[in-house]
């Protein structure tokens, strides 16, 4: 550290929330007195301000307000959760319907991340967990698997919302809306990057409506709320996927090896019946659909609301940057 010329502390408020400030103090106590320093923080908690006054010389504070409108390249929608205990079931229905190419699914706690990941994996989905219990090398390996599409969906705590870069991430899903608008903005900002389109989905129970309202007030836009996906909608999406896969198989070289079997079967059945039976076999490999979905999707949930401007009476949070030179 005696050769250090620059010290940059990014996401200072998150370092505080995760209990790392004592470690930061130990490091700062060892750096040379003649050095450049910069602190970056989404919020200016008293402890962060105290830290900056202690270690920065004549600091200059730069405050940048968060955008008051959502990026147009991110499509924001919400799905209604009819029962608190049904949140994971509704999530699986949404994943079936939306079929994200890649997604970050945000949850509150490490335990929740582990439990939800286990449920998704047990249902046959390509998913893994990302949270503070993982070492830095484990996190980097997991993100590399996500970037290379060796895994599709990552269940993450908010530690992943900051400083995470996956340029072509197609979806961000809030398992439940976060308590703060700032967390929501950081979360959905993981998609729609590098000029790409993105989709941000929030699962909203009646008890979550106030959180969604605060988000809408901040972005000055209503977020359409859709009913729980129905059984017929999911079955239709599964058939679409099978049709897309079938198009690829019909162009493949291995198809010819199965023609003798088709010829044999055609002596007893017509070819349309044979094709339908093959599709049924493929379709039946999907996990069973929860019986309650049709009941939930038919309950009053409000048809998708059209987006419209919403007045913002709240002061938006800001990102603060403190820097100083020797």
pLDDT in tens, 191-227: 988 788 999 999 999 999 999 999 999 988 999 999 9
- Please say if the pLDDT value at position 321 is more than 80: no
pLDDT in tens, 116-133: 999 999 988 999 998 878
User: Is 39 within 8 Å of 322 (Cβ atoms)?
Assistant: yes
- Closest CA relative to residue 92, chosen from 116, 110, 114: 116
The pLDDT, as a whole number, for residue 315 is: 38
User: Model confidence at 136, in pLDDT bands (50, 70, 90)?
Assistant: confident
The pLDDT, as a whole number, for residue 301 is: 43
pLDDT in tens, 225-242: 999 998 889 999 999 999
Q: How far is CA 301 from CA 177, 215, 225, in A?
A: 17, 19, 8
Cβ neighbour number for residue 281 with a 10 Å cutoff: 9
Question: pTM surpassing 0.75?
Answer: no
DSSP string of 160-205, one letter each residue: GGSS---TT--EEEESS--SSHHHHHHHHTTSS-TT--EEEEEEE-
User: Model confidence at 303, in pLDDT bands (50, 70, 90)?
Assistant: very low
Domains of the chain and CATH, by start: 6-57 (3.40.50.300), 74-228+301-316 (3.40.50.300), 232-283 (no CATH)
The pLDDT, as a whole number, for residue 307 is: 42
DSSP state of 155: E
- Token reading at 252: 């493949």
32-36, 117-121, 278-282 — which is least confidently predicted?
32-36
What is the spatial distance between Cα 237 and Cα 259, in angstroms, rounded to a whole number?
A: 28
What is the spatial distance between Cα 100 and Cα 172, in angstroms, rounded to a whole number?
A: 9
Q: What is the 3-state secondary structure (H, E, C) of 178-189?
A: CCCHHHHHHHHC
Q: Which of 96-100, 245-249, 285-289 has the highest mean pLDDT?
A: 96-100
Cβ neighbour number for residue 74 with a 10 Å cutoff: 18
């Amino acid at each position: 550290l005696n050769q250090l010329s620059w010290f940059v502390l990014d996401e200072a408020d998150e370092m505080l929330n995760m209990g790392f400030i004592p470690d930061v103090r130990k490091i700062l106590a060892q750096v040379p007195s003649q050095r450049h320093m910069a602190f970056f923080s989404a919020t200016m908690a008293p402890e962060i301000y105290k830290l900056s006054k202690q270690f920065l010389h004549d600091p200059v504070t730069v405050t940048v307000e968060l955008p008051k409108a959502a990026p147009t390249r991110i499509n924001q929608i919400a799905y209604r959760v009819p029962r608190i205990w049904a949140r994971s079931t509704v999530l699986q229905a949404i994943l079936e319907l939306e079929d994200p190419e890649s997604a970050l699914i945000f949850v509150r706690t490490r335990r929740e991340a582990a439990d939800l990941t286990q449920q998704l994996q047990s249902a046959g989905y390509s998913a893994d967990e990302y949270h503070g219990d993982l070492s830095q090398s484990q996190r980097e390996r997991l993100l590399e698997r996500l970037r290379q599409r060796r895994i599709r969906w990552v269940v993450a705590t908010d530690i992943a919302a900051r400083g995470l870069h996956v340029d072509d991430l197609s979806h961000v899903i809030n398992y439940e809306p976060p308590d703060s608008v700032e967390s929501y903005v950081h979360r959905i900002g993981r998609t729609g990057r590098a000029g790409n389109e993105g989709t941000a989905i929030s699962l909203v129970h009646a008890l979550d409506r106030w959180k969604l309202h605060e988000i809408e007030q901040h972005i000055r836009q209503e977020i359409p709320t859709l009913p729980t996906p129905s059984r017929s909608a999911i079955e239709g999406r599964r058939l679409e996927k099978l049709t897309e896969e079938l198009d690829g198989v019909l162009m493949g070289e291995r198809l010819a090896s199965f023609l003798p079997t088709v010829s044999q079967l055609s002596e007893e059945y017509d070819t349309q019946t044979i094709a339908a039976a093959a599709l049924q076999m493929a379709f039946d490999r999907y996990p069973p659909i929860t019986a309650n979905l049709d009941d939930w999707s038919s309950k009053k949930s409000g048809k998708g609301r059209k987006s419209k401007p919403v007045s913002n009476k709240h002061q938006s949070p800001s990102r603060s940057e403190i820097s100083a030179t020797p």
